[in-house]
Amino acid sequence: MTTHQHSVVIQTRGRGSLEITSQVTAVIHTSTIRTGIAHVFVQHTSCSLMITENADPAVRRDLETLAKRWAPDGDRGYQHDNEGDDDMAAHARSVLTGSSVSVPVGAGELMLGTWQGIYIWEHRTSPHGRTVVVTVTGE
Amino acid sequence: MTTHQHSVVIQTRGRGSLEITSQVTAVIHTSTIRTGIAHVFVQHTSCSLMITENADPAVRRDLETLAKRWAPDGDRGYQHDNEGDDDMAAHARSVLTGSSVSVPVGAGELMLGTWQGIYIWEHRTSPHGRTVVVTVTGE
Amino acid sequence: MTTHQHSVVIQTRGRGSLEITSQVTAVIHTSTIRTGIAHVFVQHTSCSLMITENADPAVRRDLETLAKRWAPDGDRGYQHDNEGDDDMAAHARSVLTGSSVSVPVGAGELMLGTWQGIYIWEHRTSPHGRTVVVTVTGE
């Protein structure tokens, strides 16, 4: 059993999701691990990580539509709005969708289903550099 | 330290949740691991995994009631509806509730609380075969 | 590679969130693990764990405001209300926000971002003792 850890900085383009499956796979390939778990973690509270459909980009547009209902920008109920209308909405979306994903590794590859991809979901409207820590544990 | 991995196919009956705690426990029992983590992952983007109350089935009926609000079927705001009214709703529920759960293992058993069970939550209205990958890491 | 596991009981004060980062860090420090994953799990279905902003407490007040919309207390649509108006709302919030969080460990410390903290989120209105299991795996 061994652990392999590597951080990657992802430059987002403002609100929206970007696939990072290939970056996670690259970390697994630089390790000797064949069977185990790949854990992916984002060190920020206004973006998140998710696994979703990798075929039709309309899925991720529709997720934005729903996220606006789950955590509206500039809601009058919010007390925290230091950094603008998208500030509290971003924290809430981060809590709802989570700061990490973890995927089994088998035969030295991510065991994702055919239609699954790993995405970073930027919830702020402006672009940010986001640090993602990938930790692979296994043998 | 060692890793033990096994896939299980769960046949769902259409929308609703099914307990899979015993299937996860069986994978732990076929390993020699006494202390560690059991990671459970579903290789699909229109169902999810959750830990919830295992006593009163009304809890899981009420979760369906709420899920209809979180991600309604056939919403006019959706662009993605290739496979019917439940298609985009299923992807959104999957993102909200997650593709994996992980539970500590102690004394060779899942360390669930008395009222906790592990469930696969089918979000499509028709039955599906769903592949669940269980990876147990520990010693 | 080794595994270190320890349970902590957190006394909540009723609905609201409490930071438990220092308790999780303490478990890592009592292990010899320098690189790996810290997995935190709560053995209950009416509270949850989350990672969110640790600076402005208004963020967590606003999360309560949103949670009331995601899963209202005493909703007329609920069938499960054995333990009062907050009963089903608590189960639903637990499913939405999750029973575990996991954070990479590097140089023997949690690799949280500057503004991230680990919180237990009590969803019942009355105080409870909540068992949290911390499992650290790594080398």
Determine the residue among A3, A35, A37, A69 to mutate to test chain B binding: the one whose Cβ has the most chain B Cβ atoms within 10 Å.
Answer: A37
pTM to 2 decimal places: 0.98
Rounded Cα gap, residues C32 and C38, in angstroms = 13
Contact (Cβ atoms closer than 8 angstroms) between residue A130 and residue A42:
yes
Write the residue in A52, A111, A139 that is nearest to B43 by C-beta. A111
Which CATH number does the domain housing residue A92 bear? 2.60.120.460
User: To the nearest whole number, what is the mean pLDDT of chain A?
Assistant: 97
Partner-chain contact C133 B116, CB within 8 Å: no
Element (H, E) at C61: helix C58-70
Q: Chains B, C: CB contacts under 8 A, how many?
A: 92
Residue A20 structure tokens: 């990072």
Write the residue in B59, B115, B139 that is nearest to C3 by C-beta. B139
Residue B75 structure tokens: 């919403």
Distance separating the N- and C-terminal Cα atoms of chain B: 4
Contacts of B130 (CB under 8 A, 6+ apart): B9, B10, B11, B12, B42, B43, B44, B47, B120, B122
pLDDT in tens, chain A (139 residues): 899 999 999 999 999 999 999 999 999 999 999 999 999 999 999 999 999 999 999 999 999 999 999 999 999 999 999 899 999 999 999 999 999 999 999 999 999 999 999 999 999 999 999 999 999 999 9
Range of the domain at A117: 2-138
A29 Ramachandran zone, left/alpha/beta (phi>0; psi -120 to 50) = alpha
Instruction: Report how many domains make up chain A.
Output: 1
- Partners of B9 in the β-ladder: B131
pLDDT value, residue B102: 98
Task: Name every chain C residue with its beta carbon within 8 A of the beta carbon of A44.
Answer: 113, 115-116
Q: Which residues numbered 42-101 in C keep a CB inside 8 Å of some CB on B?
A: 42-45, 70-71, 77-80, 82, 88, 91-92, 94-96, 98-100
Phi, psi dihedral angles at C95 (to 5 degrees) = -65, -40
What does the pLDDT look like over B34-45, one tens digit per residue? Answer: 999 999 999 999
Low-confidence ranges of chain C (pLDDT < 50): none
Determine the residue among C3, C5, C9 to mutate to test chain B binding: the one whose Cβ has the most chain B Cβ atoms within 10 Å.
Answer: C3
Distance from CA of C30 to the nearest CA of A (A): 19
Distance from CA of B115 to the nearest CA of A (A): 23
What Cα–Cα distance (Å) separates residue B129 from each residue in A6, B18, B87, B98, C71? 35, 13, 16, 18, 30
Interface contact C1, partner A, CB < 8 A = yes
